[in-house]
Amino acid sequence: MAHLTAQVNAPAPCPQVFHSCPQAREELSTTCAHARYGVGHGDSLSAMQHSHPVRPSGTAWAAAVAWACLPLVTCGYATPFSIGFAAYWMRSVWHALAASIYLIAIGAFTLGALVYADAEAPEDLAILFTLGLLLSWFGGVVHSAVLVPFMVRARPRRPAYQPVELRQRTTAPSYQRRPGEPQWIGHYRVLRSLGRGGQGAVYLAMAPNGVRVAVKVLHDLVDDTARARFAREVESARRVATFSTARVLDVNIGGPHAYIVSEYVEGPSLEQLVRKHGPRDEDSLTRLALSTSGALAAIHKAGIVHRDFKPSNVLIGPDGPRVIDFGIARALDQVTVTTGKMVGTPPYMSPEQLTGEAVGPASDVFSWAVTMMFAATGRPAFGEDTVPAVFNRVLNFHPDLSPLPPALRGVVGACLSKRAADRPSASDVMLAIVR
């Protein structure tokens, strides 16, 4: 999708900040994070609860029944204590009040029995004492019987695991918001910053339907002409087939800053993967080459030139590689000319990007070949030291292709031709790999 610009006076290798946001660095060179957005995607399942009711054990039921029998076998004398225990167990004020009433009732009967042990009590008091006994005895039996199922379920044993809602697990609750960071961008709630570069910032955000997205705010689109060009280019990007690319979901050119919302691809970038685990093996490299060349073919078919194809713009998602950061480079061209910035990342730029010639799909093919060399060796084919040295190698140096699998050497070599007209198209590259 979109891409930020690389400064000519910035020789350091371009850092990556992507959808594998826990490893995000503080700065971006040419990135745009993307988020999965829409009903039916994996993230929409994250709202589902994964906990289940815990069924009481047979021991719990037996203990509750035994507890309920106490008023019966003690002729009501245990009722205040059993109902009092229920009040404590269930955290109920009303049962505590009932236990107090039972205590008064059985206490009145007991006091009367002691006082009139050797004499006959007055009729009215005798009736009162009898009612107290009956209330504590039979009332306690009925009350306890009703409470049995509630007592069993009042404090269920916790499951061995603590269910965690998926969205909570992936949104880093410990993140500390920086001063000046927005809490909302349009109707997207910002969760945290994914990265910041010369032309904008990328934020992990929550869409109104509860799905995570990444919102890229572009600070350089300050005039109406640039914003209109941006909207047109993004509209073109929406026509790109999404089998190996991240979808454009929303765009807004109103307000203080223009922003674009993109599909989230869960997984590290190719750059992160190679830096951490080393160069890819032959099978992985072939699959990578096939999927990314197919993505470029789809992008070019929609009439778009990526202009910043590089390892950090290829995400290794659960369903395979996805190409991101395409679609707004052309909209930013006028801005970058007037501000003295150069669109692209020096180690992956094509000769025509350096010489000022017309940039077309062949430029992406050249950058694709350099990216495949990085995946095979762990380093850019033209180095990543000073910008003038890198530019000189891009224009005059032919890299060693021996680290590539034999099946890829020919097509990658053709893609690295210094003349754009001599390079194959992305579709031809894909067919050459299949054959």
**Which residues are part of the catalytic machinery?**
308
Under 8 Å between Cβ of 204 and 33: yes
Helix H segments across 187-260? 224-237
- Cα 376 from Cα 364, distance rounded (Å): 18
Cα 171 to chain center, whole Å? 6
Under 8 Å between Cβ of 34 and 264: yes
Under 8 Å between Cβ of 374 and 363: no
- HSE-up of 66 (CA within 13 Å, CB side)? 6
- At a CB cut-off of 8 Å and minimum separation 6, what does 55 contact? none
SS3 content of the chain, % helix, strand, coil (to 5): 50, 10, 40
Helix H segments across 246-306? 270-277, 282-301
Radius of gyration of the chain (CA): 36
The SS3 assignment for 154 reads helix
DSSP symbol at 114: H
| Alpha-carbon distances, residue 298 vs 111, 169, 236, 302 (angstroms) | 93, 34, 12, 6
- At a CB cut-off of 8 Å and minimum separation 6, what does 240 contact? 298, 299, 301, 302, 304, 326, 327
Going by C-alpha positions, the residue among 330, 327, 320, 258 that lies closest to residue 289 is: 320
Residue 307 zone, left/alpha/beta (φ > 0; ψ -120 to 50; rest): left
Under 8 Å between Cβ of 15 and 30: no
Range 50-68 burial, b when 16+ CB lie within 10 A, else e: eeeeeebeeebeeebeebb
Give, in degrees to the nearest 5, the angle at Cα 283 between 279 and 285.
45
Identify residue 296 by its one-letter amino acid code.
Answer: L
